[in-house]
Structure 1
Amino acid sequence: MDATATLGFISIIPAAIAILLAFKTRNTVFSLALACFIGILLSGKGLMGFPTLLKTSLGTTSFSWIFLLELFIGILIAFFQRTGAIQGFTKIMEEKKLSRVKVQLVAWVMGMFVFFSDYFSPLFVGSTMRSLSDKAKISREKLAYIADSTSAPVSVLAPITGWAVFISGLLIGMGPIQDASQAMMVFTRAIPFNFYALIAVVLVGLFSLGVIPEFGPMKKAEKRALEEGKVLRDGAEPLLGEELTDTPPYEGIKTNVFLNFIFPVLIVISIAIGTFITLKSAKTMEAFLTAVVVLGVIMRIQGVPFNDIMKTAMAGMKGVMPAIIILALSYSINQLSKDMGTANYIIEVTQGWMTPNLLPLITFIIAMLISFSTGTSWGTFAIVMPIAVPLAFSFAGGEVTTLVLATISAVAGGGVFGDHCSPLSDTTILASTGAAADHIDHVKTQIPYAGLAAMLAAAIYLIIGFVAI
């Protein structure tokens, strides 16, 4: 099937099955696997199409990268546990006697601080704040929400991230944009119009402060944690192995919070940002590999036996396997949706509504639908940006106007929405992993909050569409 072909309504069935089953059964692996199998049959590829799909979608540089990244992050978190680094960090924070509100605000600020990687951010915030938030009786669902809402939304707002480079790269050749520098300038000008991302980040602070009261499933989860002391509901299945939640520090080790925790984190940040500035590409996976090797050497110097270090590394890999399995199946169904033309079908049935006044709003809604049904924000950018932005330029007479900037940000914000609401999204999976939360519980509690941000953003895009013309 060529890139522009579509199977029509049939193309949305696999993603719909995966999402509905995930909520119904609370078993994401089963739901994704069954959806892939049904999708293969619907596309006429036969029984052997399923293993072929797995080989095609997982035998890629993209999946290999996130697979290795996950492994190295798992090892690093295991090393943090084995050296007592996270326990030491928690003890320092406990000495400050932070209130329940302040613990949430610290997690919020930490998420915004690690802005350079939407993959590292939720894992870092969740794993480092989990013990502290548990003691403060904050539900794992709330921690996962904070970690998730300060990852992709922050990354898409910063002009020095891979997100910025990718989105601006898509803009080259559109309207008067001729090169990368002009594209980045336009992207930067569009940042104030990315209302979904801005509102999503601000809402975290407002909910943490209690300015806006909790509502929906999150209110129930927080009440359970606060009144019953249960940070997880009965029967919940945390998306993180016991290897990364119950690993005790090595007996006799003298934990140094700087060497065992802060220094490795600084290595990751320095390499990621440094390579982005010098190579225009943040080498995040290589940054984690370096941090793992350095911390492993430090552990050996501190007296941890080599065999224990290797055993801890293997435990770290094992601990992230639940997330990796879901990521693998998510990549598979994303590839299946691409092959069946899911995004093209959504665009076909909505393109007729495109008018200058409704362009930002309709663009935002289309991007939301595609990102939610496929679980990929970058894929959404690649599909919608080449359609919506040239249309905006045609309405704007080839000039970079408010309508054009709002349309660019509508695509970006709509794509991020899928990162928040779809159980197929990689960053949502990573947020559940970092917080050791039940994945579907995280999705169910976060959807109303993401929906609130989306409704506010949609209203603003509607107003801009009529004001800008």
Structure 2
Amino acid sequence: MEVTDYFGPLSLVPAGVAVFLAFATRNTVFSLAVACLIGVLVAGKGFQGFPDLLVGALGNEGFSWILLLEFFIGILLAFFQRTGAVTNFSLFIERRRMTRKRIQLVSWFMGLFVYFSDYFSPLFVGSTMRSLSDRYKISREKLAYICDSTSAPVSILVPFTGWAVFVAGLTIGMGPVANAGDAMGFFITAIPFNVYPILSVLMVGLIASGWLPDFGPMKEAERRAQEEGKVVRDGGEPLMADELTGIEPYAGIRTSLFWNFIFPVMLVIGFALVSVSLTSSAKPLEAFMLATFVLAIIMRLQGVPLNEITSTAMLGIKGIMPAVVILAFAYALNDLSAALHTADYIVSITKSWLTPSILPLLVFIISAVIAFSTGTSWGTYAIMIPISVPLAFNFSGGELSTLVYATLAATAGGGVFGDHCSPLSDTSILASTGAASDHIDHIKTQLPYSMVVGVISMVAYLWVGMSL
């Protein structure tokens, strides 16, 4: 969708409407659809602009890639359940004398381990741990929080992920960063300054271990789960269809925890790591396609009929569709925000305030606002890094310095912070999907935790800027 006019404050209307309606109605699809419709009217495209927006936003290579990735992840999760792999894994974990605290810590550890894909991590951890989490009366909101806060925050901290390659690649040609090797070195040195993701991951561990007590809406959700046995509130709508959550193991075959669960996961991880080393890209779509096809072959060799394998694959696709629909509207809204120059407007009204002492703080806040408004960290990075990092180099005389490292890290962390607070975020949507949680309930219970870490991060960046 192309819009050439500069809309100023009006460019904030679509995202504002989406966020307001999401919290007011608890219906994410409705909220996003209305926001998109209002957005095209603001842009002067009329009602015909609505289908044009959807065709333009969804009929491109980027969304097709996401769609296929989600389909293959859904199929792989369906295969895990049909072979009894999830049940076998749950029994394996439960034999270790589990408690509520240990289940949460295992979920936290798994999120740290599956770091290579922020799309797969929340779906994998949520789907794998959900039955155990339900058995020990852990609210779906808590599981979604654990999944969400160990996906993007971990991905942005590990140097050999798609996130690292993307962020580092954006800095090539800035200051003394001449090539990909310099850029990755720049990224790695900036990791200790990436306060929000580091504290987010640590906070999950502290909450899961009981060192920090639950507070806010999460405390009520946990009370409801423990005292009333309701892992989802009355009226809540889990963001995963029954086709996927209700798959039963296929009777009459002998399955293996290693071949039906561990091996496919190792295949995905191994393929991703090798791809990063050879091509600087994790190739997650290709990794999940390979794991899905290999597991289908294993299932057939184990005696599962071919028609049963194909029908299970279709259940996996159907089960992931609620998340795909929301992602589709979120992508359309993001495309609309780009056309209305929402991010440009946010940057324009704050750029004149930037000074060396408050640069990391303001960059963190601006990145968070853009990510919150658009629901995408990567889009935020593409907009902010070409602005914030050159500004930092200008202040530092073109040299790598604490200010430059802190500015890059603040941009990266601010994008994750905004994502965690936004009902439009793709990773938060997938966390709700993996945990089969009501999406708005997930955002509402996670928001106080994210805000606490966000405020601490702001104080840290203010201190860094003032100390230079």
TM range (shorter): over 0.9
2:264 is matched with which residue?
264
Q: Residue 65 of structure 1 aligns with which residue?
A: 65
The 3-state SS of whatever aligns with 1:443 is helix
Counterpart of 2:446 in structure 1 is 446
Distance 1:362 1:29, change over 3 A: same
Q: Tell me if the contact between 2:3 and 2:43 (Cα under 8 Å) persists in the aligned partners.
A: no
Equivalent position amino acid for 1:312 in 2: T
SS for the counterpart of 2:335 is helix
Alpha-carbon contact 2:32-2:333 (below 8 Å) kept: yes
User: Conserved in 2, the CA contact under 8 Å of 1:140 and 1:437?
Assistant: yes
Q: Is the 8 A contact 2:3 2:340 kept in 1?
A: no
Residues 77-226 of structure 1 correspond to what in structure 2 (within 5 A)? Answer: 77-226=77-226
- Contact 1:5 / 1:344 at 8 angstroms: preserved in 2? no
2:273 and 2:179 map into 1 onto residues whose CA distance is 23
Q: Give the structure 2 partner of residue 232 of structure 1.
A: 232
Q: What is the Cα deviation at residue 176 of structure 1?
A: 1.4
In the alignment, what sits opposite 1:417? 417
Say if 2:381 and 2:415, in contact at 8 Å, map to a contact too: yes
Whole-angstrom distance in 1 between the partners of 2:241 and 2:126: 14
Matches of 1:213 and 1:3, distance apart in 2: 48
Note the C-alpha offset of 1:255: 2.1
SS at match of 1:116: coil
Alignment correspondent of 1:428: 428
- 1:350-361 alignment, distance < 5 Å: 350-361=350-361
1:40-51 alignment runs, 5 A limit:
40-51=40-51
Summarize the alignment of residues 280-299 of structure 1 with structure 2, pairs less than 5 Å apart: 280-299=280-299
Q: Retained in 2: the 8 A contact 1:6–1:344?
A: no
Q: TM-score, normalised by structure 1?
A: 0.98
Q: Answer whether contact 2:39 2:336 (CA < 8 A) is retained.
A: yes
- Partner deviation per Cα, 1:195-215 (whole Å, 9 max, x = no partner): 001000000001111111111
User: For 2:277 and 2:438, how far apart are their aligned partners in 1?
Assistant: 37
AA in 1 matched with 2:298? I
> Distance between the aligned counterparts of 2:304 and 2:390, measured in 1?
59
How far off is 1:4 after superposition? 8.9
Q: Which letter maps to 1:393?
A: F
Count matched residues.
468
- Counterpart for residue 332 of structure 2: 332
Match of 1:30 in 2: 30
Q: Please give the secondary structure, in 2, of the residue aligned with 1:430.
A: helix
Give the Cα separation in 2 of the matches to 1:388 and 1:79. 45
Q: Which residue of 1 aligns with 2:246?
A: 246
CA-to-aligned-CA distance 1:75-117 (integer Å, 9 cap, x gap):
1111111111101110111111111111111111100101111
| Separation in structure 1 between the aligned mates of residue 427 and residue 136 of structure 2, nearest angstrom | 25
Q: CA deviation at 1:418?
A: 2.1
Distance in 2, matches of 1:418 and 1:357, equals: 22
SS at match of 1:320: helix
Q: Distance in 1 between matches of 2:117 and 2:313?
A: 22
C-alpha contact (below 8 Å) 1:272/1:284 kept by paired residues: yes
Q: 2:19 maps to which residue?
A: 19
Per-residue CA deviation, residues 143-166 of structure 1 (Å, 9 max, x unaligned), is: 000000000000000111111111
Q: Is the 8 A contact 2:190 2:408 kept in 1?
A: yes
Identity %: 61
Alignment partner, residue 379 of structure 1: 379
**What displacement does 1:301 show?**
1.2
SS at match of 1:236: coil
Distance 2:451 2:184 in 1: 29
Deviation at 1:397, TM superposition (A): 1.2
Please state whether the residue corresponding to 1:269 is helix, strand or coil.
helix
Backbone CA RMSD of aligned residues: 1.1
Inter-partner Cα distance in structure 1 for 2:121 and 2:136: 21
1:13 and 1:371 map into 2 onto residues whose CA distance is: 15
User: Structure 2 length normalisation: TM-score?
Assistant: 0.99
Deviation track 1:162-182 (CA, whole Å, cap 9, x = no partner) reads: 111111111111111111111
Provide the C-alpha distance between the structure 2 equivalents of 1:33 and 1:229, rounded to a whole number of angstroms: 34
Q: Contact 1:169/1:183 (CA < 8 Å) preserved in 2?
A: yes
Distance 1:118 1:308 in 2: 30
Q: CA 1:5/1:348 → structure 2, altered by over 3 Å: closer, same or farther?
A: farther
Question: Does the CA-based 8 Å contact 2:4-2:339 persist in structure 1?
Answer: no
In 2, are the aligned partners of 1:11 and 1:341 still within 8 Å (CA)? yes
Provide the C-alpha distance between the structure 2 equivalents of 1:60 and 1:283, rounded to a whole number of angstroms: 18
SS at match of 2:349: helix
Going from structure 1 to structure 2, the CA distance change for 1:4 and 1:166 (only over 3 Å counts) comes to farther
State the alpha-carbon separation in 2 of the partners of residues 77 and 253 from structure 1.
18
Deviation, structure 1 residue 9: 0.5
- Pick closer, same or farther for the CA change 1:390–1:277 going to 2, 3 Å: same
